[in-house]
Amino acid sequence: MRIVHTESSTVMGGQERRVLAESLGMRERGHDVRLVTPASGVLARRAAAAGLEVIPLSFRRSLLPATARALASIVNRLQPDVVNSHSSADSWTAALARLLGGRPRALVRSRHISAPVRPGPLHSLLYGQADWVITTGESVRRDFAESGLVPLDRSTSIPT
């Protein structure tokens, strides 16, 4: 399976460690894994040092349309089975890239924090573009379902 992970963060915390661990674990299981992340980030350096292909892309919100077009181009070139977005900025970019024609077979949104998401038209658009949502806790998964953003049958909880 061809998998592209996106991560907009340039620091290295628990979320970024999880993205790296998941990427390496997927590669060890025989998947073709790429990471789209800012070249200046710690994650980019650590992923490259571990032998992952890193595709540099800045996810500055002020450049959202241009970044979304760039990500759509990457997706269309690589033709991944799955794009898995992890942070807010890259998730918005991935959703817009999909609307612009960057069509992976599946778009997965991983939610690594437990802060509530307020229902509304923008979040409905964001989570509506995702084929699947992964949360790091069952309570977050249930909050999404109760808010009407993500039904239980389109989500999974994988605790850290």
Please give the single-letter amino acid code of residue 89: A
The token pair that represents 27 in the structure block: 């590669």
Buried b / exposed e over 102-120, threshold 16 CB at 10 Å, is bebeebbbbbbeeeebeee
Structural domains in the chain?
A: 2-157 (3.40.50.2000)
pTM of this structure: 0.93
Q: In the beta sheet, which residues pair with residue 54?
A: 35
Residue-by-residue pLDDT tens, the chain, 160 positions: 999 999 999 999 999 999 999 999 999 999 999 999 999 999 999 999 999 999 999 998 778 899 999 999 999 999 999 999 999 999 999 999 999 998 889 999 999 988 888 888 999 989 999 999 999 999 999 999 999 999 999 999 998 7
